[in-house]
Every structure is written in C-alpha cells, then in structure tokens.
A and B are shown apart, each in its own frame.
Chain A
Amino acid sequence: MGEMTMRDALNAALKEEMERDDSVIVMGEDVSGGAGGTSGKRDAAGGIFGVTKGLLPQFGEDRVIDTPISESAIVGLANGAALAGMRPVAELMFADFVGVSFDQIFNQMAKFRYMFGGKAKTPVVLRMAMGAGMNAAAQHSQTIYPILSSVPGLKVCVPSSPADAKGMLKQAIRDDDPVVFFEHKALYARKGPVPDGDIVVPFGEAALLREGRDVTVVAIARMVQFAAKAVDKLAEEGITCDLIDMRTTSPIDEETILESLSQTGRLVVVDESNPICSIASEIAGLAASEGYHDLMAPVQKVTAPHTPVPFARELERMYVPGPANIEAAIRSVLENE
C-alpha cells in the first residue's frame, strides 16, 4: 500500500490497463500535446491535468491520439472505435464540454445496445474533470453527473479517493457498457492510500466510510471529504453518523443507503450539483418511497444553489456546500429528537 495522488492513481490505472489489453486506446485534446509545436517535444501536456502523462512515449501515437478541438467528433470517434472492437478512453477535458458533444453521448453511445437489439456493446470510457474550486466560472466548473445519471444506458462514476479512482477507472475500462467518469478537479492533487496490485472497484457498491447511530450522511466526490470533516467534528460531541460515499450515481446502491437509514432514521444528502433534479433529490425520493417508515425527520439536502457557478472567490465559496453547511444539516435532522 502506497500513498499517491488521485492524478497518479488515474495515470497508473490507464497505464496498467493499456499494458494489459492492446485494445485500450486513449484520445482527446492534448492527451499528449506538443504535436506541431516548435520545441519538438511530445507529451508536452499529458492531458490538461496531467492524467495521461507518459502514455504516448510508452504506447505510441496509434494508441494515444491527440485530437483537434472537436468534442463532438472526439466522442463520436470513441463510439465508433468501440463498436468496431476497441476500448477507447476519451477525455473531454472539462465536464462542461459535454454540452458540445451531448448528441454522441445521450443519443448515440447510451442507446446503441438497446436500440440495436442487444447486439452492440459500447465499451467507451468518457473521462472529464468536474467541479468548482478553481474559480473557473460558469462554463468550466459544473458537476453535471445528475444529467448523465438520468440517461438509461450510461454508467456514471464519481470517485472521491485515489484508491477508488484507480479501481473504478480500471473497472470502467473493462466494463462493456459506456461509462462517464467524473474526476473532481479539487481532488487531483490530494493524496491517499492506494493498495498495490490490480484493484478493481465494482459499480453500484457504495462505501461506508464512517459508522454511527444517529444520522445517515450520503455524499458524492469532493463532498465526501467535506462531509467527513463535519461527521468527525460531530463525533467529538457524541453525535455519530454513517457516512456513505456513493462512488457511482448510476447505478445507485440503494441497498446500502436504505440499510443505513433503517438504523438511523435520519438522512442528509450532500451533492455539489444544482438542487433541482439532483442526485440529492433522487436519494431523498428513495427515502420517501422505500425508506418512508424508517424516517424520523425530514430529509435534508445540502446542495449548491440553483444558479450557474459564479466566478469571484467570495461567490464560489458561497456556492459550494462546505463542512459548515453539512454540520448544520446534520444538527437540523436531529432537532426533533
């Protein structure tokens, strides 16, 4: 077991899967970089966040494909390559650029298998960086996993730790369904323990990170880190919580959430996305329908407000839910105790 950043864990997953399977190819803008530049250096970027660094020198241009800025064609390329037997890992840089390529994602890759009578498989992984935290404003900061999680046919990953990032990316590459893989920008440089060897994290299995009696706290991606802070702080006062990291928002591990809720009777869901049609709404809905008889307090949703992501530091800080908001929500579901 070694310590590594999420960036390095993702890089290792890509490298190991490319070594393991020749049909795995990587494509996107500047996944290597430097082609046509005056320095003559390739691998000049290694991806805008450095996740694909070193792949071109090891695997060559046929398997590490720098593309022009053409997001719609990048996803289309991955779709076609997948239908023709490859396992493409396409990078969209920023999750917001899904907007440019949405047809290829939700009308094409998500539907091939179903529409074609179950005869097609589309083992595409679509990697993208999401989330606020860099003051990158409204078109470079969104967490759009709720939108993609609502599309039948897509699997959606939202890892919160380096170990999960590695294990889930490996599973995504091996998976025969299209997988949208969200990497939170604010987590790339965070270190965590990563087990040695070939780790694979199956989809639809949430992780129980803290065990407690009083409240079930469900969180996603960067929000897991903030929820852990709030939960640990309250534990010092004797308020203990189950902390559940969803890990995938499609499929959703309903069983783990409902099982925890049956023990605590109180639920807080933390989601960095906008509140309407969010994963927080989905989990609250799950509790209302399947967990109704266990509920001892109204479900609290902790989300961003219903606004685009603002630019200024002061505004972005207000926009992103933080440990204090989560702590307040946990306290509020305990109020009627």
Chain B
Amino acid sequence: MQQNPDQIRRSYRQMRLIREFEERLHIENPKGEIAGFTHLYSGQEAIAVGVCENLREHDYIISTHRGHGHCLARGCDPKGMMHEIYGRADGLCKGRGGSMHIADLTKGMLGANGIVGAGQPIAVGAAVACKARGDGSISVSFTGDGASNQGTVFEAMNMAVVLKLPKLFVLEDNGYSEHTGSSYGIGGDLKTRTEGFGIPVWEADGFDYFSVYEAAEKAVAHCRAGEGPSAVLATATRYFGHFEGDPQHYRHKDEVANFRETVDALKQVREKVTEAGILSSGELDEIDAEVLSLIDDCVESARTGPAPGADIMMSDVYIEY
C-alpha cells in the first residue's frame, strides 16, 4: 500500500471529486436544465484514479460514453466539464459535444466517445506516436465489459501486440452492458481473452484504489519498458443506471445499496489510511468540504453560463474550407 500522504491526499481528492461531480449531476439531471444523455461513473472511481495516478504529462488516455471519471482523473477542468455538460459556449468543447464527448487534448485526453468500442484503435494509434517519440510515454484506453465484445477491441489488442506498442488496455467490468448483465454477453472471460493475444493482465479489485494503483503500476511499467501492451482488469459496479433516467429493471433493488455499504471505494480509502495513521479523518473531511464547495461553484457557474450561438455551430467543421 502507498504510504506517501501527499500522494494519497491527491488520489483521495480525485476520487471524491469524481464522486461528488457525478452524485451532483444525478441530483441536477431531473431538474431539466441538462440536455441529452448523461452516463455516470459513480462507483468506479478507484479504477480511473488508480490508473491515472500512474500516468505522466505526455501520456494519453481515451474514454467511453461513461467518461466523466476518466476526464477528471486525467486532470480535465471540472468547471469546463460542467459547463460542457450544461451546453455552454465556454464549456470544454464549446457546448458542441456535451457529456458524451468531453475531450481535452492539452491534457492528453483524447475524448469520451459515443461509439462503444471506438476508442481502442484510436488509443493504439496514439501508442504508435508514443513509440515514435521514444520519450517513454504510453497510451491508455478504458473499455467496459460491454465494449469488450466489439471487434474493434480485438483488432486493437492484436495490432498493439503485433506492433509491440506502449499501450495499456484498462478493462472495467461494472457488471452491466447497458441493460444486460456482463456474464450474459461475454463468451469465455476477459482475462483469458486478453492473454490469448499475448497481453499480460494484472487483475485488480475495482472498488479498492490501492489494488488498482498497484496493478496499474506494474502494467504501466511493462509498457514504459518497451515490452509491448499490457492490461489491467478491474471489477466494480456503477451506482446509477446505464444513463440518467434508466429505470434499471435488470437490477435487484438492494444491489447498489449493498455495494455502497460494504465495498465503496471512498469508504475503503478512508478506513485504510486512517487505520494506518497516514491521514487523519479530519484531513479527509477537509478535502470532502473543499470538493463539495468546488462542485457547488461548478454547477452554479454552469447554470448561468453563456449559450452558444450560430458562430459556434458553423465553425470548426474544417480548419479551412
């Protein structure tokens, strides 16, 4: 387990930031000010943060339709994200992308993606660039259990192996592929499949930040050492539906409450670090309060942000045309 208090403080704050960002969106969404589809990441915070805390400035990540957690873990500005989700002209993507398409290339964040399984080959391409630069940087794709059944994911894995690329595949099994249990849709299992391509897999408990961090540390080191692609397989759950408004008929009504009660990622970090005497409960409370106030600011500011106009709609289709 990590011992450095500064590092843990940072990781805990990142996880808390994702949690409060998502829980707040869950509250704000039914009020009608947020348009479109919103897919929340609450419950899986340990995975995004456990992986991204192992990354460096010039690394890349690519995300999914459930992308807020990955964006925040990679350092995207929460206020810019919130403005984007509210469709504001000053959002990270000028209000043109929304929740499903948040990207910040200055942070090496190659975008959330509305097409399931589309990100993996793109991340392999970024790994080609990393290898060409020779600066030890790597490229990371996050892939849900549902996306893992797309042919693009198999093609990406094979390509990364054949080209011996610094490419980390993070496989996040949150139990559900939209409205269907992941056990129904996956033939064989994700670990064996990935190993079948010759990609080493480090397994992690996706509710346990330290478990994910340690697995990712090894997998990232493998990529940086020029040994070719690697994978982290982490299992957790999503606390909310596939999208906001999903009635979740496929789920037992007590399922999420049980996870929240027993294995919640933030509770686990809090228990472990206070028991080990690394951080005090009071220090963690201060982080919680700071994050809550930040999220309040983000929402307040996003609610009154500027609406995009015709100039924004008509620009950036091409650089020149």
Chain A interfacial positions (CB closer than 8 Å to B): 29-30, 33-41, 44-45, 48, 66-73, 96-97, 99-100, 134-140, 305-308, 310-316, 318-319
Contact = CB atoms under 8 A, between A and B. Distances in A.
21 contacts: A33-B178, A35-B185, A36-B182, A37-B252, A38-B255, A45-B250, A66-B184, A69-B146, A69-B150, A100-B117, A137-B100, A139-B100, A139-B114, A140-B100, A307-B314, A307-B317, A310-B96, A311-B35, A311-B87, A312-B35, A312-B95
A70 to B, nearest CB: 5
Given A38-B255, A44-B179, A315-B313, A135 B36 contact: yes
B183 interface: yes
B147 interface: yes
Interface residues of B, number: 49
Given A35-B184, A68-B149, A69-B146, 18 more contacts: A29-B178, A33-B179, A34-B250, A37-B180, A38-B251, A41-B249, A68-B185, A68-B186, A69-B116, A70-B150, A135-B36, A305-B313, A307-B314, A310-B95, A311-B35, A311-B36, A313-B87, A315-B95
Contacts, number: 163
A136 B97 CA distance: 9
Contact of A68 (B87, B96, B177): B177
A319 B313 contact: yes
Nearest to A137: B98
Nearest to A100: B115
Interface in B147-203: 147, 149-152, 176-186
B252 A38 contact: yes
Contacts of A30: 178-180
Contacts of A29: 177-178, 180
Contact of B115 (A33, A34, A97, A307): A97
Contact of A36 (B88, B114, B116, B184): B184
Contacts of B75: none
A289 B95 CA distance: 42
Interface stretch (B10-18, B45-53, B304-312): B304-312
B95 A138 contact: no
B27 to A, nearest CB: 19
B247 to A, nearest CB: 9
Contact of A312 (B88, B151, B186): B88
A125 to B, nearest CB: 22
A99 B125 CA distance: 19
Nearest to B315: A307
Contact of A41 (B96, B176, B250): B250
Contact of A308 (B95, B151, B317): B317
B180 A33 contact: yes
Contact of B310 (A68, A69, A139, A318): A318
Given A39-B252, A44-B250, A69-B177, A314 B114 contact: no
Nearest to B33: A313
Contact of A137 (B101, B179, B181): B101
Contacts of B186: 68
Given A314-B307, A319-B313, A37 B177 contact: no
A69 B147 contact: yes
Contacts of A33: 178-180, 249-250
Contacts of A36: 180-185
Contacts of B114: 96, 137-140
Given A45-B249, A138-B114, A305 B314 contact: yes
B179 A34 contact: yes
Interface in B212-257: 249-253, 255
A39 B251 contact: yes
Interface string B32-73: 000111000000000000000000000000000000000000
A137 B177 contact: no
Nearest to A41: B249
B181 A35 contact: yes
A34 B181 CA distance: 7
A-B CB proximity, top 6 nearest = A36-B181, A312-B87, A37-B250, A36-B184, A139-B114, A311-B98
Interface in B247-290: 249-253, 255
A73 to B, nearest CB: 7
A48 B178 CA distance: 9
A139 B114 CA distance: 6
Contacts of A134: 36-37
A307 B101 CA distance: 16
Contacts of A70: 149-151
A41 B182 CA distance: 15
Contacts of A318: 310, 313
Given A137-B36, A305-B313, A314-B308, A69 B98 contact: no
Given A69-B117, A96-B114, A138-B114, A306 B317 contact: yes
Given A37-B251, A137-B97, A73 B313 contact: no
A239 B221 CA distance: 73
Give the one of B95, B98, B255, B310 with max A CB within 10 A. Answer: B98
B181 A311 contact: no
B98 A135 contact: yes
A328 B181 CA distance: 51
A26 to B, nearest CB: 15
B318 to A, nearest CB: 10
